[in-house]
Amino acid sequence: MPASKGRRRQHSKSSKKTPSPESQSKLPTTQEIENRSSSPSLFPTISIPDLEKKISSKINKIVSWAWHSIPFDSLPDWLRDNEFLQHNHRPPMYSFRGCAKSMFRLHTETFNIWTHLLGALFFIMLVAGVYIFGDYITFLFEDIQIHDLPWQEQATLLCFFGGAVLCLACSAIFHTFSNHSKGVYGVLSRLDYTGISFLITGSSVPAYYYGFYCTTYAKYAYIVVSLCLCTLCVCVSMWNKFATPRFRALRFTVFVLFGLYAAIPFMHIFLRDGYTVSTHAYSLWGFVLMGAVYIFGASLYVMRIPERFFPGKFDIWASSHQLFHVCVVTAALVHYNALLNMITYRLNVGSCIESLPFDMLAI
């Protein structure tokens, strides 16, 4: 009996060690193992760098919702633009929603955002008032119905409105989202300077059109040159280093020279028609005032006045950049009033004057 039990145990152990043909057929093959490994899993593997990026992005978004203003020394290099504004700066947020919500809190960019945002909305309403409700709101266009003008004149006037809206809107977008990240800052800064080029060009086209209404060659020559200068300024604005604080003086020089180019056509008008006609018919002093306001605001921006003399006292209100924004909106309104005077004169005169004081300039 003991011997038979030992044989049975040995036989049972051997039967467990050697699988049967049926069990062998149930074992997975190499192809099945490869297919299982390649099939999607409920818990996909994530590499350590990807996991770190996701965690850091989540942390940055959480921080952007509960941010606190920081001093200038704590800003990253790409956000250090004005060392005389010492406090109340926004930190990098890495969230567009967080940047948008920050416009409702007080910091160094609050006034910059709202001056140009409200200015853009005002000019949009002005466009609607002139082009859509012009028959009912006459005070916006001094009893001039935009629908009565030829389509070419409507298009030239629309260039001014479009340039003003684009410039103010691009500036508001830049100041709202400039602290998102370094990459976004670079893209939006180029957009901001491009908007300035559009404003200068859009303001020049209707002025040249009505200033040289009866001299076709001069009119289109000045317009073409203005468009070429606008293209040049846009190309310079696309340069990466152009938006850095180091090239602040270069930015000032490029755009001021572009704006001063308008002095050449108006000198042409002055020599052609004389002082009286130039001032009354073509609003010469209105355009001089417009240029002076632009240059004054840009000079404050470049020289950092008044915060240069009182560091830390103009962090939220009345800094140089904010005053520059007010000057831009004011100059655009002055330009609009001067254009109305030019259009009124042209409608009152009617047909073009055949004889001009200087034949050399009547081109």
Banded pLDDT at 360 (limits 50, 70, 90):
very low
pLDDT at residue 253 greater than cutoff 50 = yes
Q: Which domains does the chain have, with CATH numbers?
A: 109-349 (1.20.1070)
pLDDT exceeds cutoff 70 at 23: no
On average, the pLDDT of the chain sits at 81
- With cut-offs at 50, 70 and 90, classify the pLDDT of residue 214: confident
pLDDT at 177 over 90: yes
Q: Is the model's pLDDT at 141 over the cut of 70?
A: no
Distance from C-alpha of 162 to C-alpha of 168, rounded to nearest angstrom: 10
Q: How many CB atoms lie within 10 A of CB 285?
A: 12
% of the chain beyond a pLDDT of 90: 45
Q: Tell me the pLDDT tens digit for each residue of 275-324.
A: 988 888 888 899 999 989 998 998 999 899 999 999 999 999 999 999 99
Given a cut of 60, whether residue 362 has pLDDT beyond it is: no
pLDDT at 210 over 60: yes
Q: How far apart are CA 7 and CA 150, in angstroms?
A: 115
Q: How confident is the model at residue 344 (pLDDT cuts 50, 70, 90)?
A: confident
Of residues 332 and 60, more confidently modeled: 332
Q: What is the pLDDT of residue 359?
A: 40
Q: What helix, strand, coil percent values describe the chain, rounded to 5?
A: 70, 0, 30
By the 10 Å C-beta count (0-12 exposed, 13-18 middle, 19+ buried), 247 is classed as: middle
